[in-house]
Amino acid sequence: MLSEKDLQALCLSAMPTVRKASHFIFKQIGKVSDDAIEAKEKNSLVSFVDKTAEEMIVEGLQKILPEAKFLTEEGTVEQNEGDVRWIIDPLDGTTNFLHNVPHFSVSVALEINGELVMGIVEEVNRKETHYAWKNGGAFMNGRPIQVTKTEKTEDAVLVTGFPYSIEDTGPILTILDHWIKNSRGIRRLGSAALDLAYVAKGIFDFYYETTLNAWDVAAGAIIVKEAGGMVSEYDGNDTFLDSGRILATNGRLHQQVLDVIQRAYGDNMIIV
Ligand code: IPD
Ligand code: CA
Ligand code: CA
């Protein structure tokens, strides 16, 4: 069992690896030619930048915790279940990166016995590192961060994302319609990991999105929790890593937002 001090030490020792990958990505901005871009699935783009960044991260983390297994987006290393596992998105916001929208990140989380215990999300362009470990609080570049204190969704600024490929947009549009009429504003920025980091540091009051993968949200989720917020699946349970549906709030707004989401899905809370 790792103590809080052990987790802090692990987090600080993983950080140079994350920053190295982030610096690599930064240097590639504007340099990826169209023929170096592949579509993994509809609208899900990837290039050598994602893959090389992932290889750099895996190599660095293997030195810190040789027994740990990996779940990574680009699959550059053997993917295994294990008691101790890194969950990695080497470049979250690839579409932004490839289109020169300056908003993307590197996301690395550590899971022990199925529980998230540490997360690092680095915003590449701003060189801002958001991080947290279990029971240690949340930080950005050495300073503690906290969620907002907003009490009513009418006063909230929220961020969300839209699936790259989906047939039934019904509930998503119903929920958007509600926030257009009943919030201070909606943003869609294009990096789930940063959406969560921005909730953690009090820029946004809440974030929700569906059709995600564990690597999009693992690191950001523990950072939100350690910053005083709440994270759940749309049904209110803790299974967001598996289901790919996540709601992260400042805590005070959690039930109000769940009510809106659940009303939109109605009896049809089945994953689409
Ligand atoms: C994507 C981003 C985006 C979200 C997508 C993700 P990627 O990750 O997090 O904000 O809306 O669902 O797949 O593909 O850039 O790593
Ligand atoms: Ca991602
Ligand atoms: Ca990615």
pLDDT digits (tens, 9 = 90+) for 215-256: 999 999 999 999 999 999 999 999 999 999 999 999 999 999
CA of 93 to the centre of ligand 2 (A): 6
CA of 203 to the centre of ligand 1 (A): 19
CA of 75 to the centre of ligand 1 (A): 16
Which residue do the tokens 């009418």 mark? Answer: 154
**Which of 159, 216, 217 should be mutated for ligand 1, with most atoms under 8 A from CB?**
216
Nearest atom of ligand 1 to the alpha carbon of 163: 12
Give per-residue burial for 129-153: e unless 16+ CB within 10 Å, then b: bbbbbbebebbbeeeebebbebeeb
Find out whether the beta carbon of 47 lies less than 6 Å from any atom of ligand 1: no
Instruction: Provide the pLDDT for residue 46.
Output: 76
pLDDT of 67 over the 90 cut: yes
Instruction: Provide the pLDDT for residue 270.
Output: 60
Find out whether the beta carbon of 153 lies less than 6 Å from any atom of ligand 1: no
- Amino acid making up residue 217: V
pLDDT classification of 267: cutoffs 50, 70, 90: confident
Find out whether the beta carbon of 60 lies less than 6 Å from any atom of ligand 1: no
CA of 89 to the centre of ligand 3 (A): 5
Query: Spelled out in words, what is the top-level CATH class assigned to the domain 153-265?
Result: alpha beta
pLDDT of 271 over the 60 cut: no
**Which of 191, 213, 246 should be mutated for ligand 1, with most atoms under 8 A from CB?**
191
Find out whether the beta carbon of 191 lies less than 6 Å from any atom of ligand 1: yes
pLDDT classification of 272: cutoffs 50, 70, 90: very low
Instruction: Provide the pLDDT for residue 35.
Output: 78
CA of 93 to the centre of ligand 3 (A): 6
5-56 residue pLDDT tens: 999 999 999 999 999 999 999 999 998 778 777 787 776 777 899 999 999 9
- Give the residue-averaged pLDDT of 92-105: 96
DSSP 73: S
Reading the block at residue 203, the tokens are: 């820029």
Cα–Cα distances (Å) from 142 to 28, 65, 131, 145, 226, in that order, read: 27, 23, 9, 9, 14
Find out whether the beta carbon of 190 lies less than 6 Å from any atom of ligand 1: yes
CA of 63 to the centre of ligand 3 (A): 23
Q: Domain boundaries in the chain?
A: 4-144, 153-265
Reading the block at residue 255, the tokens are: 């039930």
118-172 residue pLDDT tens: 999 999 999 999 999 999 999 999 999 999 999 999 999 999 999 877 778 899 9
111 near 72, Cβ under 8 Å?
A: no
182-213 residue pLDDT tens: 999 999 999 999 999 999 999 999 999 999 99
Q: pTM, whole model, 2 decimals?
A: 0.96
Instruction: Provide the pLDDT for residue 264.
Output: 96
| CATH number assigned to the domain covering 4-144 | 3.30.540.10
Nearest atom of ligand 1 to the alpha carbon of 73: 16
Number of residues that make up the chain: 272
Find out whether the beta carbon of 101 lies less than 6 Å from any atom of ligand 1: no
CA of 191 to the centre of ligand 2 (A): 7
